[in-house]
Structure 1
Amino acid sequence: MGRHEIHFWKQEFDTVRKGFGFEYDPSLAVGSFCEPLLKKLGAEDITSIDASGFEGASLVHDFNLPVPETLHNQFDAFLDFGSIEHIFNVAQVVDNIVKLVKPGGQVLIATNANGFPSHGLFQYSPEFFYSVFSERNGFRNTCVFLVNTSRPKLWHLIEQPARLKRRNQLPFASQMSLVVLSTKVSCADKLHVVQSDYDDTWARFDKGNWTRWNPEHISTWKKVLHGVVNPYAYKMASQLALAFEVRQQYRADRILLDPDNVDPARFKRDGSSRAGSEAYGAAAEAH
């Protein structure tokens, strides 16, 4: 989506070129379009789709609108390195992405997570992509990584809230980006997106494993506290306590990966791979 430019420097390429299998040349210079790089990486047929032809995209189409049916299930991979946050009709954008990729194809997205309030129309959460690229919608092995733009050597794997049984809040004030990887395994009749913790709670309630919410269940001590404590002091203390708890939970949950030494696309996220993920984290910490 969009026609991407190359932003890495020759010095950065040189540090990781062993994994590429080819040498640096002028076609990979900063500011060049990415087609030569993608072909060196094995791509054969590359289609760039943009809302305008000003950068020379091979296909002009506004992602606010449905993509033509002739493009459905035609692509082995979909890449977006910074367009999704600039498009207003988010539901249509993700529907287009899902329909463009053929079963067995890969989705790779890099976008803003935090600290870019004036960059685009939106900043995205990990939960958004876990909810979109779900098994219900025909996807598996979805991974969302958080990357500090000032320290991109380590990627933070963000666990899915449904797996943690609570929301995975991120305690960062600095600029952070998201890298999303997912595999399409089937075609869903209709895109259905529900935030995963609600989806999990409602499913358990429907099965009789969750008690209906009732204000009468609020504890007595909390009712008394609300009646005698200064609300402003209470809210300030609660926010400080919550911020501390979020930081502690994040440190306990995070898994660090060094993308120069671990291929994120091969990273397995099923329950049997937890030990392997901890090993990756230990290697990244040591690095």
Structure 2
Amino acid sequence: MVQDLSGKLDKKLKHRFDVIYDGGTCEHIFELPKAYRNIHRMLKPGGTLIGHSPCNNWINHSFYQISPEMVYGFWEKAMGYEVLHLTLQPLLPNFAKHVASTTNPNETGKRPRIKGDLPKNSPLILNYAVRKPLKKMASGSKVYQTDYVEKWKNDDAVV
């Protein structure tokens, strides 16, 4: 089965899957929000997206390096998904024991902070799993980084 995630979704794929695994596809799609929304459409209610994506120090590997803020901002806050798992892990095998989690910006009001010990200058992989809500929620919410939303609130700026 071949589906262009940045194109129009085949109707046969809507609400078809219990689990979708993104093992390094989406960061290569320029229209990333469209790809993510198509994944949302393909998942059944209660379905799970499992993702492994380059996060840091992968220069020229892809269009994007996916960050924890993307998972919390888009999947949790805008789409209403539950974050089941989120960790950062060094790519290099000799650092495999170094795995870190992050704070949740939707709880702290600040960009995610690393909780754990990661080696400096090592390429990092973001591992995450999110679950689609059982009830239909409005999708298409705008997504902004947490620090800016908090600043705009405090400055009474118009968004």
* Same fold flag (TM > 0.5): yes
- Give the superposition deviation at 1:66: 2.6
**Which residue matches 1:162?**
106
8 Å Cα contact 1:66/1:92 also seen in 2: no
- Give the superposition deviation at 1:169: 5.3
8 Å Cα contact 2:81/2:132 also seen in 1: yes
How many residue pairs match? The answer is 149
1:145 counterpart SS class? strand
- Give the superposition deviation at 1:86: 1.0
- Give the superposition deviation at 1:196: 4.8
Identity of aligned residues (%): 23
**Which residue matches 1:190?**
139
- Structure 1 position 148 matched with structure 2 position 102: no
8 Å Cα contact 2:102/2:113 also seen in 1: no
Gaps of 5+ in 2: none
- Structure 1 position 180 matched with structure 2 position 138: no
- Give the superposition deviation at 1:167: 2.0
Structure with a larger share of its residues in strand? 2
8 Å Cα contact 1:81/1:110 also seen in 2: yes
2:18 counterpart SS class? strand
- Give the superposition deviation at 1:123: 1.1
Which structure has the larger Rg over C-alpha atoms?
Answer: 1
- Give the superposition deviation at 1:200: 5.2
RMSD: 2.3
Give the TM-score normalised by the residue count of structure 2.
0.80
Structure with a larger share of its residues in helix? 1
**Which residue matches 2:37?**
95
Match for 1:127: what amino acid? E
Distance 1:72 1:122 in 2: 26
8 Å Cα contact 1:136/1:188 also seen in 2: no
Distance 1:88 1:117 in 2: 16
Gaps of 5+ in 1: 1-58, 214-287
1:144–1:91 distance in 2 versus 1, CA, 3 Å: same
- Give the superposition deviation at 1:75: 0.7
Give the TM-score normalised by the residue count of structure 1.
0.47
2:51 counterpart SS class? strand
1:181–1:86 distance in 2 versus 1, CA, 3 Å: same
The match for 1:72 among 14, 17, 21 is 14
1:85–1:141 distance in 2 versus 1, CA, 3 Å: closer
Match for 1:177: what amino acid? I
8 Å Cα contact 1:130/1:196 also seen in 2: no
Distance 1:132 1:183 in 2: 13
Match for 2:128: what amino acid? V
Higher relative contact order (CA 8 A, sep 6+): 2
Match for 2:127: what amino acid? V
**Which residue matches 1:35?**
none
1:134 counterpart SS class? helix
1:92 counterpart SS class? helix
